[in-house]
Structure formats: C-alpha cells, structure tokens
Amino acid sequence: MSTSKPLTKRQQQVLTALTRAERPLSAYALLDDLRDSGFRVPLQVYRALNALIKAGLVHKLESINAFIACTHRHPHKHGLAAFTICDECGQANEFSDAIVDKQLAHIADNAQFDRAHTIIEMRGLCGSCRG
C-alpha cells in the first residue's frame, strides 16, 4: 500500500520490524527490538504505529493487543481485514473475502450503520500446531 506522504524514519523502522517479524508484535516488543535504533519510550512506537495504521500499512489485532504489517492490498476505509491467529504459536495470517465483506456491508446498511472499518479475528490452532 502506498501512503499519501513519505514515511518518517521511525515509521519505516517500525514497519520494517513488523514486516520481518514471524508473528504479530506488541508495542513493547517493538520497543525492545528497536532500542538500538534510538527508540527509548513507548510513545515513540505508538506514534509510528498510529501513523502506519492510518496509512493502511499496519493492523492492530485487538484480541492479542499486537500489531502486524498489512499483507493484502485492500481498501482500508471500509474494507474487511480478517485474520486467523494461532493460540499455540502466535502465527497470524491476513485474508480477505469479498463475499463476507459484502454481507457485512449489507448488515450495516440495514442497521443504518456507517462502518468505519471491519476487522475479524479468528482464534484457534494453525495446521502446524494442530497436526
């Protein structure tokens, strides 16, 4: 996804750390990973994360209070962002489904609800941990 303005150095560092991570990271895990890059306080990480979320480059996984780099090109204003999250290994995978998004839009329209965004998180066991 491209942003309307260039990323700051700190935003790029946070995005790179999330892109390289094998699983979602909390803000404090990001802070620990980025201390050698000049990050000293959580507010620095949160500011970068908020800008990256707003730009559609990062998602917050509410159920585990962690962040993940966006892996799908999709509209973030109203579009669906959906994830499977393994309770055993912590692996998270983003997916999208036009049929589910259309159904949710229909539900919102019927309720006269103006949705800002939709995030679905499915928790369970991935194929590797299940097997």
Per-residue pLDDT tens over the stretch 68-121 = 999 876 555 557 889 999 999 999 999 888 899 899 999 999 999 998 888 899
Give the CA dihedral 36, 37, 38, 39, nearest 10 degrees: -90
pLDDT at 1 over 50: no
- Domain 9-69 classification at class level: mainly alpha
The per-residue pLDDT of the chain, averaged, comes to 91
Per-residue confidence (pLDDT) for residue 73, from 0 to 100? 66
Per-residue confidence (pLDDT) for residue 81, from 0 to 100? 86
pLDDT classification of 31: cutoffs 50, 70, 90? very high
In the chain, CATH 1.10.10.10 sits at 9-69
pLDDT at 4 over 80: no
Percent of the chain whose pLDDT exceeds 70: 92
Summarize the confidence of residues 27-34 as an average pLDDT. 97
List the structure tokens of 40: 């000293």
**Cα 53 from Cα 70, distance rounded (Å):** 9
pTM: 0.86
Per-residue confidence (pLDDT) for residue 8, from 0 to 100? 96
Which CATH architecture describes the domain 80-126? 2-Layer Sandwich (3.30)
